[in-house]
Amino acid sequence: MAVASRFMCTTLTHHGFSSTTHRTHLGHAQLTLSSRKNQNFHCSVSASDATKTSSVKETIIPWGCDIDSVENASALQKWLSDSGLPAQKMGIERVDVGERGLVALKNIRKGEKLLFVPPSLVITADSEWSSPEAGEVLKRNSVPDWPLIATYLISEASRMKSSRWSNYISALPRQPYSLLYWSQAELDRYLEASQIRERAIERINNVVGTYNDLRLRIFSKYPDLFPEEVFNIDSFIWSFGILFSRLVRLPSMDGKVALVPWADMLNHSCDVGTYLDYDKSSKGIVFTTDRVYQPGEQVFISYGKKSNGELLLSYGFVPREGANPSDSVELALSLEKSDESYEQKSELLKKYGLSESQCFPIQITGWPLELMAYAYLAVSPSSLSGKFEEVSGSLDLDVTSPKQLNRRLFLKQLAVDLCNSERRILFRAQYILRRRVRDMRSGELRALKIFDGFRNLFQ
Ligand SMILES: C[S@@+](CC[C@H](N)C(=O)[O-])C[C@H]1O[C@@H](n2cnc3c(N)ncnc32)[C@H](O)[C@@H]1O
């Protein structure tokens, strides 16, 4: 779960997976990215020109369970303990945060190691296939870890009871909360004000492109091993949805990515700072608590210091407003082409490894020093006074209000939560940034000197 979504993107794109168009049962063809007006200072790129896709259909995957089912979870617990999981201080229960989660059955101390899931109960790219020929074919074709594990999961799931992972797969959600299940129209409409819309579209296109690549290069050549009734875009959307929301990267196993049954029942809390990892001494996957838990309390881990948008993108939830100290929004700044000092400024930016258009993460608590340096540079032309008014005018950050949203559906509520949290950050940033840049009008500032001064601060 701590695995970064970025990992997925690089994995898919690094290995030459092309994105070709394929219409899916979900109404996902190649999704369209387009940007709004080209502004100097802006916070989001959005468009609503691609609303042609149909609404999302429920995809029926013949395995897994309802997202809040604890019945299959009991079978999972039994199978895990029969297969070598040591006695646990936690049990799977229905919970207030995250539908199902792990709840303390006994007192748990701060600093205690929990779980101890042995490597034999973990799914990685090296796991043994029930159909060894299928695994061989993928490895011969150098399929990278993410698509390999996604295909493995489908292959094992389709074997139902005859797979050794059957109890695990039966307890996985049949439809994980995931932006992969949102149609283009929903992304355009509900995430209009958020940059997460672009990230979601890229991600969906990556998954569709990866599936198409596997289909063309491998599945179509071995239809007996990879029949289309099983290995299709719907099953890939499911398996990637599972990977995005459950795969963990284990630093002590050289960053290996793994699905860790049992550990993947832990939900995320922004208040804890404890992560899953392989523990060399106990030879199992563990985490160390950073607080005490009483019996009946839900136990949490951290999925990483992610913004609300990133949490929505990978895990399909948004923490309640103000709860996430790592929440941030990207602010895009760029130099005005018409600035008479444009060349000089872009040379200077290049010297420091920055470009004429630059994105900066801003948080409710502040932003990187570099952002202020960049803003000062951008608004400090050689003819200082004449330009200030103009540039601070362009500091009207484009904070588009989401439309009056229909709250009937859960996903729409998520979008509202996300927009609110991002808007809160942007409004505050806009206020402070405008004031600071306006203050400069009264000063005798030398743009390049100031920029150099700021650079010195963070070098
Ligand atoms: C690794 S799984 C955790 C187990 C999951 N609750 C289950 O029942 O299978 C990650 C998923 O749990 C849910 N989740 C985790 N933390 C959450 C939180 N703080 N708030 C809401 N949902 C959460 C999300 O649906 C997420 O995609």
DSSP line for 237-249: HHHHHHHHHH-EE
Helix (H) or strand (E) holding 256: strand 256-258
Residues 6+ apart with CB under 8 A from 443: none
- pLDDT confidence tier of residue 439, bands split at 50, 70 and 90: low
Q: Which of 317, 320, 324, 414 to mutate to test the pocket of ligand 1 (most atoms within 8 A of CB)?
A: 317
Range in 184-198, 378-392, 439-453 with the lowest mean pLDDT = 378-392
Tokens 């203050």 sit on residue: 439
Determine the atom of ligand 1 nearest the C-alpha atom of 101. Answer: 6
pLDDT in tens, 243-253: 999 999 999 99
User: Ligand 1 in contact with 323 (CB < 6 A)?
Assistant: no
Position 57 pLDDT exceeds 90: no
Q: Which of 267, 275, 310 to mutate to test the pocket of ligand 1 (most atoms within 8 A of CB)?
A: 267
Range in 30-34, 175-179, 273-277, 309-313 with the lowest mean pLDDT = 30-34
Position 208 pLDDT exceeds 80: yes
Mean pLDDT calculated for residue range 213-235: 97
Mean pLDDT calculated for residue range 346-351: 79
More confident residue, 113 or 20: 113
More confident residue, 136 or 14: 136
Work out the number of other CB atoms within 10 angstroms of the CB of residue 351. Answer: 10
Range in 89-93, 118-122, 145-149, 184-188 with the lowest mean pLDDT = 184-188
Position 27 pLDDT exceeds 90: no
Position 459 pLDDT exceeds 80: no
**Among the ranges 202-216, 380-394, 412-426, which has the highest mean pLDDT value?**
202-216
- pLDDT confidence tier of residue 302, bands split at 50, 70 and 90: very high
Determine the atom of ligand 1 nearest the C-alpha atom of 172. Answer: 9
Range in 86-100, 158-172, 182-196, 228-242 with the lowest mean pLDDT = 182-196
Distance 177 CA to ligand 1 centre (A): 8
User: Ligand 1 in contact with 101 (CB < 6 A)?
Assistant: yes
Position 444 pLDDT exceeds 90: no
Interatomic CA distance for residues 147 and 235, integer angstroms: 12
More confident residue, 111 or 451: 111
Determine the atom of ligand 1 nearest the C-alpha atom of 1. Answer: 1
pLDDT score at 377: 73
Strands 90-94 and 100-104: antiparallel
Distance 209 CA to ligand 1 centre (A): 27
User: Ligand 1 in contact with 100 (CB < 6 A)?
Assistant: yes
pLDDT score at 362: 80
Angstrom distances, CA of residue 309 to CA of 38, 185, 197: 23, 18, 9
Mean pLDDT calculated for residue range 87-112: 96
> Are 195 and 330 within 8 A, CB to CB?
yes
Interatomic CA distance for residues 93 and 226, integer angstroms: 36
Interatomic CA distance for residues 38 and 26, integer angstroms: 32
Q: Which residues, in sequence order, are bridge partners of residue 259?
A: 123
Of 389, 383, 397, nearest to 437 (Cα)?
389
Position 413 pLDDT exceeds 70: no
Structure tokens at 239: 């398996």
Beta strand segments in 335-405, E: 357-363
pLDDT score at 343: 83
pLDDT score at 34: 58
Position 353 pLDDT exceeds 90: no
* SS3 call for 264: helix
Q: What are phi and psi of 43, to 5 degrees?
A: -120, -15
Mean pLDDT calculated for residue range 14-35: 45
Residue owning the nearest CA to atom 13 of ligand 1 = 98
Position 35 pLDDT exceeds 50: no
- pLDDT confidence tier of residue 437, bands split at 50, 70 and 90: low
Distance 352 CA to ligand 1 centre (A): 41
Position 159 pLDDT exceeds 60: yes
Structure tokens at 143: 């399929």
Interatomic CA distance for residues 86 and 435, integer angstroms: 59
pLDDT score at 17: 29
Q: Which of 97, 268, 301 to mutate to test the pocket of ligand 1 (most atoms within 8 A of CB)?
A: 268
User: Ligand 1 in contact with 245 (CB < 6 A)?
Assistant: yes
CATH 3.90.1420.10, the chain: domain bounds:
328-457
Taking the alpha carbons at both ends of the chain, their separation in whole angstroms is: 33
User: Ligand 1 in contact with 315 (CB < 6 A)?
Assistant: yes
Position 172 pLDDT exceeds 70: yes
Tell me, which fold does domain 328-457 have in CATH? set domain protein methyltransferase, domain 2 (3.90.1420)
User: Ligand 1 in contact with 180 (CB < 6 A)?
Assistant: no
- pLDDT confidence tier of residue 53, bands split at 50, 70 and 90: very low
Work out the number of other CB atoms within 10 angstroms of the CB of residue 441. Answer: 14
CATH 3.90.1410.10, the chain: domain bounds:
5-315
User: Ligand 1 in contact with 451 (CB < 6 A)?
Assistant: no
pLDDT score at 38: 30
Distance 98 CA to ligand 1 centre (A): 4
Q: Which of 245, 246, 311 to mutate to test the pocket of ligand 1 (most atoms within 8 A of CB)?
A: 245
Tokens 């502040």 sit on residue: 366
Structure tokens at 104: 């303390």
Distance 92 CA to ligand 1 centre (A): 12
User: Ligand 1 in contact with 93 (CB < 6 A)?
Assistant: no
Of 379, 29, 415, 59, nearest to 204 (Cα)?
29
pLDDT score at 7: 33
Interatomic CA distance for residues 15 and 3, integer angstroms: 19
- pLDDT confidence tier of residue 37, bands split at 50, 70 and 90: very low
More confident residue, 325 or 58: 325
Ramachandran region, residue 176 (left: φ > 0; alpha: ψ -120 to 50; beta: rest): beta
User: Ligand 1 in contact with 264 (CB < 6 A)?
Assistant: yes
Position 420 pLDDT exceeds 50: yes
Residues 6+ apart with CB under 8 A from 21: 29, 30, 212
User: Ligand 1 in contact with 1 (CB < 6 A)?
Assistant: yes
Mean pLDDT calculated for residue range 20-48: 40
pLDDT in tens, 374-392: 777 777 655 543 443 333 3
Of 217, 261, 197, nearest to 45 (Cα)?
197
12, amino acid identity: L
User: Ligand 1 in contact with 116 (CB < 6 A)?
Assistant: no
Position 193 pLDDT exceeds 50: yes
Position 268 pLDDT exceeds 90: yes
Distance 350 CA to ligand 1 centre (A): 42
Interatomic CA distance for residues 328 and 368, integer angstroms: 11
Architecture of domain 5-315: Alpha-Beta Complex (3.90)
**Mean pLDDT, the chain, as a whole number?**
78
DSSP symbol at 448: H
Output the DSSP codes for 40-97: SEES---------SPPPPPP--SSSB-TT--HHHHHHHHHHHHTTPPP-SEEEEE-SS
Give the angle subtended at the CA of 68 by the CAs of 63 and 74, to the nearest 5°. 75
Structure tokens at 201: 């579209």
More confident residue, 344 or 381: 344
User: Ligand 1 in contact with 292 (CB < 6 A)?
Assistant: no
- pLDDT confidence tier of residue 68, bands split at 50, 70 and 90: confident
Q: What's the half-sphere exposure (Cβ side, CA atoms, 13 Å) at 150?
A: 28
Q: Which residues, in sequence order, are bridge partners of residue 362?
A: 329
